[in-house]
Amino acid sequence: MSSSPDLPHPERSEISLTGVLFALSDPERLAIARQLVDGPLDMAECHLSNPNVPKSTKSHLMKVLRTSGVVRNEANGRARRLSLRREDLDAKFPGLLDAVLSAET
């Protein structure tokens, strides 16, 4: 049965604008968020620009995205399914996610 640890996620009401902006202000984290626009991905399918970074670092990047409310991280077998919290973010900060993710870097 399931599952790997259930990680804490902020409620929608707990998501702060500055927290979201901070999470997305790192190029690597922004790139991760962008990989999720077309739907959820298992963590292993989420690639960093530097493929050599250790898994603990990658996990930490995910933690910042999760605890800020940008990404949901759910157990999926022994993998982790990552998804953008688009509904929550669109509801709280209309237009923000679209603007950030569609902006040219």
Residues of this chain that interact with DNA (CB under 7 A) are: 1-5, 7, 22, 26, 28, 42-44, 53-64, 73, 75, 77-80
What is the token pair recorded at 36? 């999720």
Q: Of DNA, a second copy, none, which one does residue 43 interact with (CB within 5 to 8 Å by kind)? A: DNA
Vertex 65 angle, CA 21 and 7, to 5°: 145
Cβ of residue 16: shortest distance to DNA, in angstroms? 12
d(CA 93, CA 56): 30
Element (DSSP H or E) covering residue 41: strand 41-42
Cβ of residue 89: shortest distance to a second copy, in angstroms? 10
Query: Binding to a second copy (CB under 8 A): which residues in 19-48?
Result: 19, 21-22, 24-27, 30
Of 79, 15, 21, the residue nearest 45 (C-alpha): 79
Query: Binding to a second copy (CB under 8 A): which residues in 72-101?
Result: 92-96, 98-100
